[in-house]
Amino acid sequence: MRIAYHRRNITDLHYRRKPRNLGTFSKSFIQDNDDNDTHFVSILKDILRGNQSWKVALNDSFISTTLRPHHVEKLLTQTLDDSRLALRFFNFLGLHKGFTHSAASFCILIHSLVQSNLFWPASSLLQTLLFRGLDPNEVFDCFLDSYESCKFSSTMGFDLLVQNFVQNRREMDGVEVVRFMMECRLRLLPEVRTLSTLLNGLVRIRQFKMVVQLFDEFVNGGVRPDMYMYTILVRSLCEMKDFVQAKEVIEKAESNGCALSVVTYNVLIHGLCKSHRAREAVEVKNLLSQKGLKADVVTYCTLVLGFCRVQEFEVGMELMHEMMELGFVPSEAALSGLVEGLRKKEKIDDAFDLINNVSKVGVAPNLFVYNSLINSLCKDGKIDKAESLFNKMGTKDLFPNDVTFSILIDSFCRRGKLGVAVRYFDRMSKDGIRATVYTYNSLINGECKFGDLTAAESLFTELIEKGLVPNGATYTSLISGYSKAREMHKAFRLYHEMTEKGIAPNCYTFTALISGLCRANMMPEARRLFNEMVERRILPTEVTYNVMIEGYCWEGNTTKAFELFDEMVEMGLTPDTYTYRPLISGLCSTGRVSEAKEFVNNLHKENHNLNEMCYSALLHGFCKEGRLKDALSACREMIERGVDMDLVCYAILINGTLKQQDTRKLFSLLKKMRDQQLSPDNVIYTSMIDAHGKSGKFKEAFGIWDIMVGEGCIPNVVTYTALIHGLCKAGYLNQAEHLFKEMLIGNCFPNHMTYGCFLDHLSSKGHMEKALQLHKTMLEGFLANTVTYNMLIRGFCKMGKFEEASELLVGMTNNGIFPDCITYSTFIYEYCRGGNLQEAIRLWDTMLDKGLKPDTLAYNFLIYGCCVNGELIKAFKLRDDMIRRRLKPNRFTYNSLMHGTWLAST
């Protein structure tokens, strides 16, 4: 048949035959019939076939000096009946005598060996000949002359030559030889198998147009193509995306009586699928039955991959199920392609089910796809399914690697399941898989977030001991952990260590440090670090700005916070609920709740989405100021704007109603909760119990307690402590002790606040001996703290026992517990009240030297003391210092100053 592709001339392709170089042949081979040569060749023949040692015979000086290549050529032509013997003599001369054979000798012997079906030695000789660097023209001429001179009956030597060129990646030289054969005077035709090999070689180097062209030439030259040649042609046409011609070739082959197999159709199906024509490929598959053929596993796997290519994974799944019903086992490639496609389309459950189904026939996707699916399942929170896949790996001859383990370890660490993560880490080591720095990073990060820093430090040391190099993520995790624990000196030590090692800190590193400084109320230092970050050309993210904004809001500096908010927007960053909440909370905490409400309204008008977290901050602000009506109004607006009330919002409102003792609104809120199918939690029940306890309504408090337990909400240490606190304040110590015992029976262990309730009661009533005994028990249980010491100090000070109080001050420091502003304020108040202003001022200076920041109450105590003791100038200086520290003087401050002024004037 003729394929409609332009055929280039032989001249264009540099295939024109060069003039035959007869110099490679000895002249004697062509024309020398000298009697002496004949006699000499006869002697050689006798040596060859005689019993005498070749080595001895050829050592004869006459033979060794007379022997020439053309003599060997003549000898070989006379030994065609025993090609093995000829080969042995040929190799003996070359190996033991260092004789250089002519190209003609090689060609004669190659033809002779092929005639005797000795293809391997023939191929070996041919390789040696080609190493001489002869071009295809010269080699062919040698082969042709040898073939004609010796009158060989088989042309297989030429086929071997072509096949050898193809095997040596010299496909174009093979094309030359085939064309020489077909154009020479003998019009030689290579075997169809040889032509198939040549065409296949051309396909391998992607010479598809040449395949089509040569096929046309072969058919015109009288070659009858077989199934393999047609299949190669179809593949070339498919690669050229000429599917119309490919289908015509198949039709022509069938009309010529060539029995095509499913392989040819699979090639067409593959070509269509590769060109995103999977639907058309299915039509070809459906026609197979009409041609008496059946789709095989290759057909189905090709189609599955084809539909994956066009993102039609549902059809791919159907074909996968169909092939399995027919008993075919899908290939790893088809399964991997489909699983990966489903995973990328977020159809993770379908991918998981598919793996489970095909595992019954012992097939699994490749390790990369398997790991990717485990990773997706972990990210989707389906950790049980991820573990199920992991546990099945060994049964499928698919074994987890460091990536598999790292994915699972990281997932469990992120969820705070550090025990499980460590078990996988230990198993990884047991299986002989070396942990990488990424595995250690996951564990270190997990310990920093959910475990303890000591364990993280141990892992860091182990990482280095194992010869691994910590990277930026390693240092950042530890820095973040130290920052959260407010151990900023350790955080900065690691920061300097990483920079000294040439590890550049990134945005996450700086954000962790800034967050720690903000938590420690070190905003000037946080701002300096923020500026350093910008100077290093590391762009802050939304998280960085959110941390800074929250820090300023904690400090009460909403002006700076809103400046950063504006800067953030100018930078093109998008504020979110984590930005809005601290701003709303900051305004509320500084007494600007109305401004906070206006800010919320403006955000709503600008279509910014707020969540329950933002509204809860506003509700808390209203309730804190006793503006319950405004809080309920904001609550209605919140619901109208599509934000549902959550438990936190209800807890804030319920706490607000309890403060105002508005029972009607309380029950209304509880009913709304029930309507919304929300049940009060520990926080809400505890706040109601606490409110009733503080107001002395213990019957109502215990009634709510019973409802709480009946609802299946178990009281916790906070609930017990709230009720114990109320009972102690009201003087019902026996009932408080009974509740304390009930708490212990219920395996709810008291904390320092629980003990503090009893300690506060005893010290306020002057039972200091009992209070000291209780405090000793707290010290032994590591429950004593600054607050408990303050209670004892206050008790002794009220009784005028300053010596005992001072002893406690020394004792708390010895126990590693440090006094706070309240500790010093207690002493200062009592000294001022007793007229000992000098001692009060000495303690004030000590407090400042220790880096403690006095609060409004502390200033008021000392200002009062100065005023009543005639130190009015000192009092006003304290008032000015108070304002400089961003503390607001209150009514007590000004009353003290006016009283002092009046005393001075009289």
Label residues 692-711 b or e (16+ Cβ within 10 Å = b): bbbeeebebbbebbeebeee
Is 14's pLDDT higher than 50? no
Residue ranges with strand state E in 560-624: none
Structure confidence at residue 72 (pLDDT): 87
Structure confidence at residue 444 (pLDDT): 93
Give tens-digit pLDDT for 322-333: 998 888 888 889
Structure confidence at residue 363 (pLDDT): 80
The reply to whether 58 and 161 lie within a common domain is no
Report residue 10's pLDDT band, with 50, 70 and 90 as the boundaries.
Answer: very low
| Cα radius of gyration rounded to whole Å, the chain | 48
Give tens-digit pLDDT for 744-776: 888 888 888 988 898 888 888 888 998 899 888
Q: Among 101, 123, 149, where does a domain finish? A: 101
Give tens-digit pLDDT for 678-713: 888 888 889 999 988 888 889 988 998 999 888 888
Under 8 Å between Cβ of 379 and 351: no
Mean of pLDDT values over 858-862: 91
With respect to residue 558, please indicate whether it lies within any of the assigned structural domains. no
Q: Which two tokens stand for residue 127?
A: 């390789």
Give tens-digit pLDDT for 184-240: 888 888 999 999 999 999 999 999 999 999 999 999 888 899 999 999 999 999 999
- Of all residues in the chain, the percent with pLDDT exceeding 90 is 42
Report residue 13's pLDDT band, with 50, 70 and 90 as the boundaries.
Answer: very low
With respect to residue 195, please indicate whether it lies within any of the assigned structural domains. yes
Q: Among 180, 204, 224, where does a domain finish? A: 224
The reply to whether 220 and 125 lie within a common domain is yes
Domain residue limits at 198: 1-8+107-224
Side-chain-side CA neighbours of 554 within 13 Å: the count stands at: 14
The reply to whether 116 and 210 lie within a common domain is yes
With respect to residue 740, please indicate whether it lies within any of the assigned structural domains. no
The reply to whether 896 and 829 lie within a common domain is yes
The reply to whether 196 and 215 lie within a common domain is yes
Which of the listed ranges 39-43, 646-650, 832-836 does the model predict with the highest average pLDDT? 646-650
Structure confidence at residue 450 (pLDDT): 86
Mean of pLDDT values over 120-132: 90
The reply to whether 158 and 75 lie within a common domain is no
Domain count, the chain: 3
Q: Which two tokens stand for residue 580?
A: 């809005």
With respect to residue 161, please indicate whether it lies within any of the assigned structural domains. yes
Is 20's pLDDT higher than 50? no
The reply to whether 75 and 144 lie within a common domain is no
With respect to residue 147, please indicate whether it lies within any of the assigned structural domains. yes
Which domain CATH number covers 829? Answer: 1.25.40.10
Give the separation between CA 419 and CA 470, rounded to whole angstroms: 23
Structure confidence at residue 425 (pLDDT): 93
Q: Which amino acid is at 309?
A: R
The reply to whether 86 and 111 lie within a common domain is no
Q: Which two tokens stand for residue 28?
A: 């004697």
The reply to whether 93 and 178 lie within a common domain is no
With respect to residue 599, please indicate whether it lies within any of the assigned structural domains. no
With respect to residue 113, please indicate whether it lies within any of the assigned structural domains. yes
Query: Residue 190 contacts by C-beta under 8 Å, 6 or more apart in sequence?
Result: 155, 158, 159, 162, 178, 181, 198
Structure confidence at residue 121 (pLDDT): 92
With respect to residue 690, please indicate whether it lies within any of the assigned structural domains. no
Give tens-digit pLDDT for 449-480: 886 889 999 999 999 999 999 999 999 999 99
**Per-residue CA distances from 360 to 238, 296, 364, 442 (Å):** 36, 20, 10, 34
Mean pLDDT of the chain: 88
Give tens-digit pLDDT for 48-63: 888 878 888 888 888 8
Q: Among 55, 81, 101, where does a domain finish? A: 101
Report residue 35's pLDDT band, with 50, 70 and 90 as the boundaries.
Answer: low
Is 99's pLDDT higher than 70? yes
Give tens-digit pLDDT for 551-562: 999 988 999 999
The reply to whether 79 and 143 lie within a common domain is no
The reply to whether 126 and 2 lie within a common domain is yes
The reply to whether 842 and 882 lie within a common domain is yes
pTM tops 0.85 = no
Structure confidence at residue 743 (pLDDT): 87
